[in-house]
């Protein structure tokens, strides 16, 4: 039951984030590392990827599609981590501290949790360990 609720919450989170990437890309563009080529296209396509990942994760009909959505969203969270780190650095360089440590430190710790959560609610097989006799 908790897995289904968290799947719904995570799907809603990613669907909303994807929507925001498309309709209001400016905040995402402002934290994009300068090494990323075609940042406007990257923000647009990552928004689309988030929406498709949320739909795949949420749909109840095909386990393989749900697993693909979980893997996709986990990889997405891993790939945007550099933008989160860049945002942290940019804010710490500002005189006013930007959003501050109270925002950025939990966000850094939340990223691996989001990765794990996407895989867990996506129902990826977990490794089984044998007990030695």
Would you say residue 129 has pLDDT above 90?
A: no
Which tens digit of pLDDT belongs to each residue from 26-42?
A: 999 998 888 989 999 99
Which tens digit of pLDDT belongs to each residue from 72-109?
A: 999 999 998 888 998 999 988 988 988 888 999 999 99
Mean pLDDT of the chain: 92
Q: Work out the burial of residue 67: count CB atoms within 10 Å of its CB; fewer than 13 is exposed, 13-18 middle, 19 or more buried.
A: middle
């Amino acid at each position: 039951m908790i897995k289904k609720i968290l799947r719904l919450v995570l799907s809603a989170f990613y669907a909303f984030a994807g929507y925001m990437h498309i309709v209001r890309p400016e905040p995402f563009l402002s934290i994009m590392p300068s090494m990323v080529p075609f940042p406007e296209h990257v923000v647009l396509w990552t928004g689309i990827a988030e929406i498709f990942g949320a739909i795949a994760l949420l749909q109840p009909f095909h386990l393989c599609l749900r697993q693909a959505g979980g893997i996709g969203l986990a990889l997405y969270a891993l790939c945007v981590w550099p933008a989160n780190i860049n945002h942290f650095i940019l804010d710490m360089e500002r005189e006013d501290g930007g959003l501050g440590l109270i925002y950025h430190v939990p966000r850094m710790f939340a990223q691996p949790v989001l990765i794990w959560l996407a895989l867990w609610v996506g129902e990826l097989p977990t490794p089984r360990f044998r007990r030695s006799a």
